[in-house]
A and B are shown apart, each in its own frame.
Chain A
């Protein structure tokens, strides 16, 4: 079945450093969404990418969808302590409303 992997599993950075997490799907995706889950919380929607090669920015966050629509990345510039949490990509393949979540990247930010 469809699998979505993320690397790294864990990243520890000093406040102000940049951070990137990578998401790779075993199959072509129709769209990909990114969610953030704070410790003890629930996933919260960040953004959706639909088009091949699409790049979207939200303040310090930059999201990219690969040309083949099988991979994606999230880059955070100048991390802050409020960025702490686990970042999940979640993809849809084909004509389905079912989301397959990635394995997640836990970001720790040291002040």
Chain B
């Protein structure tokens, strides 16, 4: 079946612009995660959903970052008033409900803020 998809794959924004990044998880996957990966670094946890409930948003770096998953499937990560330090690859992953489930990652969205 289809894997996790993300769009757009690349996004260039001017500083101060708002951006919205989309994630389509694997059908039936209950858990959805967002990570931020800077160049040469490991993925850093941003937030976690189980169905439509956002259970953990402790990794969101500021109140400019907002994530939603209103119907428990597609998720959107929104960044308001982008800053240069927001430039990174944003990865989405989906999985089952258990903390022992593996995570399936999408290809990521590379965000560049000029």
A80 within 8 A of B: no
Contact partners of A45 in chain B: CB under 8 A: 102-104
**Chain A residues near B (Cβ < 8 Å):** 30-31, 33, 35, 41-45, 48, 50, 88, 90, 92, 95-104
Which one of B13-21, B78-86, B105-113 is at the A interface? B105-113
Q: Let me know if B91 and A43 touch, CB within 8 A.
A: yes
Q: Scoring B residues 17 to 36 as 1 if CB is less than 8 Å from chain A, else 0, what string do you get?
A: 00000000000000101010
In the assembled complex, how far is the CB of residue B28 from the closest CB belonging to chain A, in whole angstroms? 17
Q: Let me know if B91 and A103 touch, CB within 8 A.
A: no
C-alpha spacing A48/B102, complex, angstroms: 8
Count of A-B contacts judged by CB separation below 8 Å: 57
Smallest CB-CB separation from A47: which chain B residue? Answer: B102
Contact partners of B65 in chain A: CB under 8 A: none
In the assembled complex, how far is the CB of residue B105 from the closest CB belonging to chain A, in whole angstroms? 4
Q: Looking at A43, A88, A103, which has the most chain B CB atoms within 10 Å of its CB?
A: A43
Contact partners of B107 in chain A: CB under 8 A: 41-42
Smallest CB-CB separation from A42: which chain B residue? Answer: B105
Q: Let me know if A97 and B55 touch, CB within 8 A.
A: yes
